[in-house]
Amino acid sequence: MTTLFDPVKFGDIELANRIVMAPLTRNRSPKAIPNDLNAAYYEQRASAGLLITEGTPVTQQGQGYADVPGLYLPEAIAGWKKVTDAVHKKGGKIVTQIWHVGRVSHVSLQPNGNAPVAPSAIPAGGKTYIIDENGNGAFAETSAPRALEPGEIAGVVADYAKGARAAIDAGFDGVEIHGANGYLIDQFLKDGANQRTDEYGGSIENRVRFALEVVDAVAKEIGAGRVGIRLSPVTPANNITESQPQAVFNHLVEQLGSRNLSFIHVVEGATGGDRNFTQGDKPFDYHELKDIYRKAGGTGAWLVNNGYDKETAEQAVESGYADAVAFGKLFIANPDLVERFQTNASLNAPDNTTFYGGGAKGYTDYPALEAVA
Ligand SMILES: C=C(C(=O)O)c1ccccc1
């Protein structure tokens, strides 16, 4: 019987166990450059089967929050090298989540103070995190986006491929394409944000086109066996909505089935919230989604996330439904989560007042077991 502690292959990436660190934005990379503190944070968690870094914008246009690390400055690549070297020295495996926020941004973060871009000129609403004129972190309403011109889309697709190449140059074992949580790819997928009338909008086939073009460009650049994608069929994150999520995502994974990807990462329910949250006219069937992917020839690992604990994660893997499980908050507070699961040790509780921004407090100061012994 397969357990969480058995090795598993994510395409070309071999994991020592099936306990994955989920991507977690922490806003601790001023000027979008990864730093020594970031390296220490990921190194502490290197015993995970796989680390997926926080979202990493592929361009400044794709940046939506202050102090998140990017992949578009030479200094950032050097900074990420510190991270990947530190993790690899501990025998860990790490991929970065390549990201374009689309409409979830603010003009102060955009090149030349431009409007953010999106499939359609429909504001996200909600707030983002910026550095104000006094140099202080502050929350601000997201800025109204403009619709991408048809002639611009190929360039944005190419930006993801360039970001993936930069990730490999920085020493990552691969990338996760951020296709979830109401960001650009999710905005194209879902009818609440995509009301285009060209080949990227309207029908489900048209609305998945951008996601597939990004997947194909990234896979061509670095090899499909090093490419995963994160999806969140029914999340309400960033006010994203879809009237027929099952139909959209069944079609998407059916198309992904022939692309030999490393892994498919699925957020079940509302990201960081209610696992039973759903959109559309019926509860979302995640087992159906996986079955369609496999029937379409999909061999990528099936990675599940959102609200799992050790017991439910063990059930998901032992049943054969999931190949691995991603943990967010538990990895924030427990750098040695794998050992704690293996030894049934108690778990540190995460402090949500230090999730975003700041320094070592609530970031690299959570104690490991040996520190407590
Ligand atoms: C990258 C994020 C996501 O995927 O939701 C994110 C961004 C800001 C805060 C929390 C999470």
One-letter amino acid identity for 352? N
pLDDT (average), residues 241-249: 98
Say if ligand 1 is within 6 A of residue 53 CB.
no
Residue nearest to atom 6 of ligand 1 (CA): 25
Q: Does the residue 154 lie in any domain?
A: yes
**Side-chain half-sphere exposure of 191, counting CA atoms within 13 A:** 14
- Phi, psi (5° rounding) for residue 174? 170, -165
Residue 157 lies in a domain: yes
Q: Whose CA is nearest to atom 7 of ligand 1?
A: 25
Model confidence at 225, in pLDDT bands (50, 70, 90)? Answer: very high
Query: CA-CA distance, 331 to 351, in Å (whole number)?
Result: 12
Report the pLDDT averaged over residues 137-156: 97
Residue 304 lies in a domain: yes
Closest CA to 231 of 262, 263, 206, 204: 263
ipTM of this predicted structure = 0.97
Is 160 noted as a catalytic residue in this protein?
Answer: no
Q: Report the DSSP beta bridge partners of residue 177.
A: 98, 229
Asked if 50 and 93 count as a contact pair (C-beta separation under 8 A), the reply is yes
The average pLDDT across 116-123 equals 98
237 lines ligand 1 (CB under 6 A): yes
Three-class DSSP category at 354? helix
CB 126 within 8 A of CB 34: no
Number of domains composing the chain: 1
Question: 159 CA distance to ligand 1 centroid (A)?
Answer: 20
DSSP labels, 172-224: -SEEEEE--TTSHHHHHH-TTT----STTSSSHHHHTHHHHHHHHHHHHHH-G
Provide the percentage of residues in the chain whose pLDDT is more than 70.
Answer: 99
> Exactly one of 41, 65, 183, 200 is catalytic; which is it?
183
Q: How far is the CA of 108 from the centre of ligand 1 (A)?
A: 18
Sign of CA dihedral 65, 70, 74, 79: positive
What distance in Å separates the CA atoms of residue 310 and residue 363, rounded to the nearest whole number?
22
What is the C-alpha separation between 280 and 166, in angstroms, rounded? 38
Pocket test for ligand 1, best of 65, 67, 129, 186 (most atoms within 8 A of CB): 65
Domain that holds residue 107: 8-354
The atom number, within ligand 1, closest to the CA of 65 reads 8
Q: How many Å lie between the centroid of ligand 1 and the Cα of residue 236?
A: 12
Q: Whose CA is nearest to atom 5 of ligand 1?
A: 181
pLDDT the model gives residue 372: 64
User: What are the pLDDT digits (tens) for 307-350?
Assistant: 999 999 999 999 999 999 999 999 999 999 999 999 999 999 99
- Residue 261's contacts (CB-CB under 8 Å, 6 or more residues apart) are 11, 215, 219, 224, 225, 227, 228, 229, 298, 300
CB proximity list for 43: less than 8 A, separation 6 or greater: 83, 86, 87, 89, 90, 92
* Largest distance between two CA atoms of the chain: 62
Confidence of residue 371 (pLDDT cuts 50, 70, 90): low
Q: Is 194 a domain residue?
A: yes
- On whether residue 3 sits in a domain, the answer given is no
User: What spacing in Å lies between the alpha carbon of 83 and ligand 1's midpoint?
Assistant: 20
- State the Cα–Cα distance between residues 365 and 126, nearest whole angstrom: 31
Mean pLDDT of the chain: 97
Residue 89 located in a structural domain: yes
Q: What CATH number corresponds to the domain at position 89? A: 3.20.20.70
- pTM for the model stands at 0.98
Would residue 128 count as lying in a domain? yes
Q: Is 65 in the pocket of ligand 1 (CB under 6 A)?
A: yes
Judge if the beta carbon of residue 181 lies within 6 A of ligand 1.
yes
**What percentage of residues in the chain have a pLDDT greater than 90?**
97
Structural domain includes residue 224: yes
At 3, which amino acid appears?
T
Q: Which residue type is seen at 112? A: N
**Mutation pick for ligand 1 pocket among 21, 24, 25 (CB with most ligand atoms within 8 Å):** 25
Q: What is the pLDDT of residue 137?
A: 86
Reported as a single tens digit per residue, the pLDDT across 255-313 is 999 999 999 999 999 999 999 999 998 999 999 999 999 999 999 999 999 999 999 99
* Residue nearest (by alpha carbon) to ligand 1 atom 8: 25
